[in-house]
Each structure stands twice: as structure tokens, then as C-alpha cells.
Structure 1
């Protein structure tokens, strides 16, 4: 049985990979590839493949990234959307991301809208502190 939980670290990792130029993902489970007599060297174990496919689907349905899904389990990356770039720009910095993750854990989770708003607030606070230190 799979847990269908959104993993914010996985979301961030995928956004960073796509921005860096990742062109495709293979989300065909190893067992499915074996059953179809396909090469399995690029395939993930079943649970990892399901998690990857689920999070790619979340990115797509949230309008953060665009993909073309192929019948062989491959996801061709068409790129980040404007919203994907905006979110990533706010969660890229490791210190800001760690602060967001800490709050996420303290509260037991929250929506992506709140995550994005919190990240924006932290980026703004960091920008203000840089401005005051430059003065």
C-alpha cells in the first residue's frame, strides 16, 4: 500500500532539477518493466517510482511545471511555469527553505499557498535586513 502524501522536500528537489535542465524522468516501476521485458537499469523500485510519478503529477496539476507523459512511464519535461519559477525563487535559499520546513513540521503541515506566502515573507525580511546593513 502506498502513502499518498505530498513531500515538500521532493517538490523542491524536482523544481530545482527541472530548472537545472532535467529533460525527463522515468517513473516506470521496475516490476512493470520486468513484466514487459524492458530494460530495468533506469527504472526505480516500485515505491520510489510511484512516489516520483505522484509528485510529478502534483507539479503538473498545481501548474508549477509542464510535462508530456509517454506510455512507457517516461515523463518528458516541458519546463517550469511562471508560478513554478516564482515558488522556486522564494524557496531556493537553503536558510529560507530550512525555516519553512521547520514551521511546516511544527504545524504538522500546511497548504502550498501558506508555504509560498511564508517563503515570500522570509525573503522580504531577508531583503530588508540586507538593505539596512547596506545603509
Structure 2
């Protein structure tokens, strides 16, 4: 399964928008994506150190990984990619390289765009 940057960003935004650190309060984009894609991306974000997540051993269909909260690094990363114009620039550069850029490069692109936007680049 390929990494979907839009889904990853939506998950980060949903976690941040939750009122508390309870997984049940996080509103994931359930209508747009199936459980497998959501779980896979929650796990990827956890493995990248951007979020804390809980593995849920379910027999029934549902999320195998449930997001819990952003890490400090996750907050920093989300702050860097929050702006829609910055996000579109990142996606464009990501596509130019065949969708294969490491997350630290994505973060650097986001920081460069943020610096340019506020005039310190």
C-alpha cells in the first residue's frame, strides 16, 4: 500500500482537533477511506514518531490502529504543513519525484516554504 500524504495530513488535523486525548473523540475521515487505509496510515504516523496510537486487536472489521495523540514532533510537523498553499507546494514536489520522498525531506520543504512565506528565507 502506498503512502497517502493527504490522508496522513487529515489524520494529524483530526487528532489535533479532538477535544481531549481520548481516541473516541478523534473524528477520522471514515467516509473517504476504508479501515485498512486508515489503520495503515495511523501506524505509519506512529512509526514516524508523529503520533501515539493504540493497537486494537479486533475480530470484527474496524481500525487495527487507533490514533491517541500527537507527539511534540507531530505538532511541529503539523504546524509546518498546515497552510494549504505550503501543502500544495509539498504535494507538487512530492509528485515531481514519483511520490518517493522521505518524511524528513517533506518536513524540510515545509519549513522552507514557511520561512519564505514569513520572509526569512
Superposition TM-score, scaled by structure 2 size = 0.79
Instruction: State the Cα distance separating 1:86 from its structure 2 match.
Output: 0.6
Matched residue, 1:5: 2
Instruction: State the Cα distance separating 1:87 from its structure 2 match.
Output: 0.6
Between the aligned partners of 2:66 and 2:107, the Cα distance in structure 1 is 26
Gaps of 5+ in 2: none
Instruction: State the Cα distance separating 1:52 from its structure 2 match.
Output: 1.0
Instruction: State the Cα distance separating 1:78 from its structure 2 match.
Output: 2.6
Between the aligned partners of 1:76 and 1:53, the Cα distance in structure 2 is 7
Matched residue, 2:76: 86
Instruction: State the Cα distance separating 1:60 from its structure 2 match.
Output: 0.8
Q: Secondary structure at the match of 1:115?
A: helix
Between Structure 1 and Structure 2, whose CA radius of gyration is higher?
A: 1
Structure 1 segments of 4+ aligned residues over 3 angstroms from their partners: 73-77
Instruction: State the Cα distance separating 1:77 from its structure 2 match.
Output: 3.4
Structure-2 change in CA distance of 1:48 and 1:101 (3 Å): same
Q: CA RMSD in A?
A: 2.1
Matched residue, 2:50: 64
